[in-house]
Amino acid sequence: MPDKNKFTMIPIKRTDVFQTIIQHITNLLDSKQIKPGERLPSERELAEMLNVSRTSVRQALKVLESSGRIETRVGSGTFLTEPPAVSLSDTHSLSKLIEGGVTKEFLRNLIVARTSIERAIFEDYAWRANKSGINQLRELIEFNREKFSRQDCDDDDSALDLSFEKKVAQLGGNPILINMQEQLHHLWVLAWKQYGFTPEQTQVLHEEHLGILDALAAKNSQRVADLIVQHVDKEID
């Protein structure tokens, strides 16, 4: 068996207040002042309400989006999502796993868990991929490439963006796998931020997504499985 690739560890610039901001925004969502389908205050408005930077708010919103609580619509803003039809666990309870700190051993266990879920999602979709879905994924990859190449984009956000994997799960349509993926994505972002690094360079992730997309378009399920495993399951230096 060939050796695993290694993560290219990139130090995170800010690890200070974003978890507190997450809790404040979560409290706002739980208060039912905003109903599913309604738009959240803008990043600027949230930053002013919480007396923090827009960058910190953006980080917090990224975590909440990865957990499925909110969704960003291009050109429209950020919206509260409908609660999932199937709920296996509470992401807040899952997040308690890192209250004592994040170690390499914890990250290795998290990598194993995420690899298993992502492989199941991508293998399943490889059999049912169609032209419409492939086009949506291609447009998303290009959108992310343009978004993350802008100078005002935070490097930490781009390296921890999981929208491609989330979109594949949505296209696959398995509500149990979608729910499990949301929980692991939420924990993934929180854990790496607390560890103080991002796991890979944005350009590497972009190129790997393109390779996975080509395999999905060809409906080569074994190639898809191999590539998504290589994408997630890397050694930690």
Q: What is the pLDDT of residues 170-212, one digit of tens each?
A: 999 998 899 889 889 988 988 888 888 777 788 888 999 999 9
Contact at 8 Å (CB) between 55 and 14?
A: yes
DSSP-derived secondary structure for 175-230: HHHHHHHHHHHHHHHHHHHHHTEESS-HHHHHHHHHHHHHHHHTT-HHHHHHHHHH
Residue 129 amino acid letter: A
SS3 of the chain: helix, strand, coil, percent, to 5: 65, 5, 30
Lowest mean pLDDT among 62-71, 84-93, 101-110, 222-231: 84-93
Question: Which is higher by pLDDT, 11 or 80?
Answer: 80
Alpha helices in 17-103 (DSSP H): 18-30, 43-50, 54-66, 91-95
Where does the pLDDT of residue 85 fall: very low under 50, low under 70, confident under 90, or very high at 90 and above?
Answer: low
3-state DSSP assignment of residue 8: coil
Under CATH, which number does the domain 12-83 receive?
A: 1.10.10.10
**pLDDT at residue 81, as a whole number:** 84
pLDDT at 156: 59
152, pLDDT greater than 70:
no
- Listed residue (210, 207, 208, 189) closest to 198, CA to CA: 189
Give me the residue spans of the domains in the chain. Answer: 12-83, 88-94+102-237
Average pLDDT, the chain: 82
**Are the C-beta atoms of 192 and 199 separated by less than 8 Å?**
yes
The total number of residues shown for the chain amounts to: 237
Compute the distance between CA of residue 88 and CA of residue 158 in angstroms, rounded to an integer.
28
Q: How far apart are CA 132 and CA 194, in angstroms?
A: 38
Q: Which residue has the higher pLDDT, 87 or 29?
A: 29
The pair of three-digit structure tokens given for residue 223, joined into one six-digit string:
């190639």
Is the pLDDT at 155 greater than 80? The verdict is: no
CATH 1.20.120.530 fits 88-94+102-237, yes or no: yes
Does pTM top 0.85 for this prediction? no
Q: What is the pLDDT of residue 94?
A: 65
